Chain A
Amino acid sequence: MYKKEVRGILVEGNKTYGQITRDITMPLYAKTPLWWYIAASVSSIAILVGVWGIYTTVSTGIGTWGVNNNVAWGWGIINFVWWVGIGHAGTAFSIFLLILRQKWRTSINRAAEAMTVVAVICAGMFPMLHMGRIWNAFFILPYWNTRGPLWDNFNSPLFWDVVAISTYLMASAVFWFIGMIPDFATIRDNTTSKVKKRVYGFLSFGWIGNARGWLRFETASLLLGGLAAPLVVAVHSIVSMDFATSVMPGWHTTIFPPYFVVGAIFSGFGMVLTLMIIVRKVFKFQDFVTQSHFDAIARILTFISLIMATAYTTELFIAWYSGAEYEMFTFMKNRVTGDYTMAFWTMVTCNAIIPQLFWFKKIRKNITIVFIISIFINIGMWFERYVIVVTSLSKDFLPSSWATYSPTHVEIAIFVGTLGIFLMGVLMFFRYIPMIAISEVKGILKKTSK
C-alpha cells in the first residue's frame, strides 16, 4: 500500500525497537523539570481567573457579560466554536490519516488526540455557561418530565449541538484511550518503579499483545475511525447550522457547513503544529517528529488555506450576486469596511495570506517561522469566529436595533480560564502519558527509518 516515498524519513537515528520504547518513555521516568512547574503554576493562575469568571457568571447572571439584546452571542459562542475547531485536530490526524493510511500520523496522533479531548471539554463549558441558569442545564436532555412530558425540540440546531458535542467527546476520548492501552502495557512491563507498575498495570487493562488481541485492536481502531470520520464532519456542520439555519444576514448561507468543517480542521492542524513544535523542542523528540512531519502538515495547511480563501471570496461574491441588500450591507459595510474592519482583515491575513508562505520550501524548513505562522493561524481562526458572530448580530435589518459589543472582564476571565485548563491538560499529558504512540511508531519503523 505504501509504495511511494513521498514523505521521506519518519524515524531518524537508526533506532531499534528497544530504543524507541526507552526514548519515548524517558520523560515519564525523568525528574519533573523546573519549566513544568512554572508552566503548571501559570496555568493554575489562569484557571483561578476562569473560576472567578464562572463564579461571577453563575452567581450574578449573564448580565455580567457584554452581550445585549441584539448581540446576544459574544465571546461565549466565539470561544465555543474556536475550541471545537481546535478539538477537530485529533480526529483529523488520527482518523482521516488512519483511513487514508498515512504513516506520518504515527508520531503526532497521540498528542493531537489528547489536545482534542481537552479542547472539547473547554468548548463544552461555554454553551453551558451561556444558558445563564446552569443548574437547569439538564433541561436539555430528553427525559421524562412532569410538564407533559414536554420533549426537546428535535428540529433545533442547539439540541443537535448537545448530541453532537457529547458524542464527539465520548468517541474521541475512547479512541484516545484504546490507542494508549498497548503503551501502558509497555510501561508496565519495563518500569522498575512499583507504583508505576501498579498504576500503568491498572490502566493497561491486562493487555498482553497477543496476535488475536492485536487483530481485534486494529479492527476496533479502524471501525471507530470509520465511525468518527463522518462524525467530525457532522459535528462542525451542526455547529455551523447554529448560525446557518437562522435568517441573519451573513449567517444564512449554504456554504457554512463545509466552510466551518474546513476551518475547524485548519485551526486544529494549526494548533497541532504549535504543540508539536514545543514538544519536539522540549523533549528532544527530533528523531520521531522530523522535518518530514512538519513539511507534511505545512503542505496540508497551504491547501486548506486556499480553501479558506475561496470560502471568503465566495461569501463576498454571493452577497453581491444574490442582490440581497442586507447581505450586501453586512459583508461590505460591516465586515470589509466599517466598525469591524480590523477583525475582518486580521482574519483574511492570518488565514488566507500568511499560510501561503508555506509554498516556499525554505520557510517550511525553518521551524521558528513555521511556529510563528501556526500562532497566526490560531489567532486568525479566532477572529473568523469573531467576525461571524459579532458583525451579523450588531447591525441587522432595523437600524433601531443596532448595537455594539465589547466583552467584559468576566468573559475574558472565562476565556483565560479555558486556556489555563487546556494548558494544564496538555502538561498533565506530557508528564504521565507517553506522548508518541510507541507501538505505532514501531510498526512503521522498518519501512521509514534511517
Chain B
Amino acid sequence: MQTTNIIGVYDDEDVLLNAIHQVQDKGIKVKDVYTPFPIHGVFEALKLKTRLPLATFIYGVIGVIIIFSFLYWTSVVSYPLKFGGKPLNSLSFIIIMFVATIFVATFLTFMTFFIREKLGPGKKAQVIDPRSTDDKFLIIIEKEEQMTKQEIEIIKNALKESGASEINEAEQEITENH
C-alpha cells in the first residue's frame, strides 16, 4: 500500500523546531520528522517516549539470575570441588556475575534496538528525501484520502509560513509505524 506525504523541507534546526510547534498549534498532525542528527526538542514536541531503559533493566535482572543460577549449579550441585579453601558458593562469583550481566544486557539491548527499529543488514531504506541525512530537516505530514483540496492548501500554507524552503509531495510505501 502506498500513501502520499506532504513534506516541508527546512534548512535550520531552530526554524524546524519553531515550525513543528506552529504546525501543531494549527491542529495539523505531524507524522514524522527526519533530521540529520538527533535534536532533543523534536522528541519533546512530538511527545515521543521509549521504554528501552526499562527493557535493559529487565535484561540485567534476568542476566544476573541466570548467571548466578549457572555458577551455583556448576559449583555446588553438579561438581562440587573446593578451590583454595573457599566455600563452594563463593563470594568471588560476583565478578563473573557483574561482567557477564553487562554482556547479556548490552547484547540484548542492541538486539532490541534493531528489532524495534526494524533495522537489519541489507534492509532497503525508505528514503523520502536523500538530503535528510545530509543537511535538510523534513516535516512529514500524511495526506489522508478524505482531505479536501482546501485542507491540503492549509497544510502547505502552514508549512510555508513556518519557514519551509521547499514543499514537496512524495509517495511512500507504508510500513507499520510504531
User: Chain A interface: which of B124-132, B146-154, B155-163?
Assistant: B124-132
Question: Besides A206-B118, A214-B43, A228-B106, 16 other CB < 8 A contacts?
Answer: A18-B134, A150-B79, A164-B99, A167-B103, A170-B107, A174-B107, A189-B132, A202-B121, A208-B126, A211-B34, A215-B43, A215-B50, A223-B56, A224-B109, A227-B106, A443-B39
Using Cβ atoms and an 8 Å threshold, which residues of chain A touch B98?
230, 234
The number of residues on chain B lying at the interface, defined by a beta carbon within 8 Å of a beta carbon of chain A, is: 67
User: Chain B interface: which of A133-141, A151-159, A274-282?
Assistant: A151-159
- State whether A155 touches B100 (Cβ < 8 A): no
- State whether A224 touches B110 (Cβ < 8 A): yes
Using Cβ atoms and an 8 Å threshold, which residues of chain B touch A186?
36, 133-134
Assembled-state Cα–Cα distance A18/B107 (Å): 34
Max count, chain B CB within 10 A of own CB: residue among A181, A188, A203, A223: A223
- State whether A190 touches B130 (Cβ < 8 A): yes
Using Cβ atoms and an 8 Å threshold, which residues of chain A touch B124?
201, 206
The number of residues on chain A lying at the interface, defined by a beta carbon within 8 Å of a beta carbon of chain B, is: 64
Using Cβ atoms and an 8 Å threshold, which residues of chain A touch B122?
201-202, 205
Q: 1/0 per residue A151-182: CB within 8 Å of B?
A: 10111100110011011001100100010011
Assembled-state Cα–Cα distance A220/B130 (Å): 25
Chain A nearest CB: distance from B48 CB in Å? 5
Among A316-361, those with CB < 8 Å from B are none
Q: 1/0 per residue B83-123: CB within 8 Å of A?
A: 11010001011011011101101110110011011111111
- State whether B125 touches A231 (Cβ < 8 A): no
Identity of the chain B residue whose Cβ is nearest the Cβ of A208 in the assembled complex = B125
Does any Cβ of B come within 8 Å of A405's Cβ? no
Does any Cβ of A come within 8 Å of B166's Cβ? no
Q: 1/0 per residue B13-57: CB within 8 Å of A?
A: 110000000000000000011111111001100101110110010
Identity of the chain B residue whose Cβ is nearest the Cβ of A150 in the assembled complex = B79
Does any Cβ of A come within 8 Å of B75's Cβ? yes
Of B48, B56, B114, the residue contacting A205 (CB under 8 A) is B114
Residues of B within 8 A of A (CB): 13-14, 32-39, 42-43, 46, 48-50, 52-53, 56, 70-71, 74-75, 78-79, 81, 83-84, 86, 90, 92-93, 95-96, 98-100, 102-103, 105-107, 109-110, 113-114, 116-128, 130-135, 177-178
Does any Cβ of B come within 8 Å of A212's Cβ? yes
Chain B nearest CB: distance from A351 CB in Å? 28
Does any Cβ of B come within 8 Å of A216's Cβ? yes
Chain B nearest CB: distance from A146 CB in Å? 12
- State whether A231 touches B38 (Cβ < 8 A): no
Assembled-state Cα–Cα distance A386/B142 (Å): 65
- State whether B37 touches A442 (Cβ < 8 A): yes
Using Cβ atoms and an 8 Å threshold, which residues of chain A touch B49?
215
Using Cβ atoms and an 8 Å threshold, which residues of chain A touch B36?
17, 21, 182, 186, 209, 439, 442
Assembled-state Cα–Cα distance A235/B79 (Å): 28
Using Cβ atoms and an 8 Å threshold, which residues of chain B touch A210?
32-34
Of A205, A219, A235, the residue contacting B121 (CB under 8 A) is A205
Assembled-state Cα–Cα distance A214/B113 (Å): 11
- State whether A167 touches B100 (Cβ < 8 A): yes
Does any Cβ of B come within 8 Å of A207's Cβ? yes
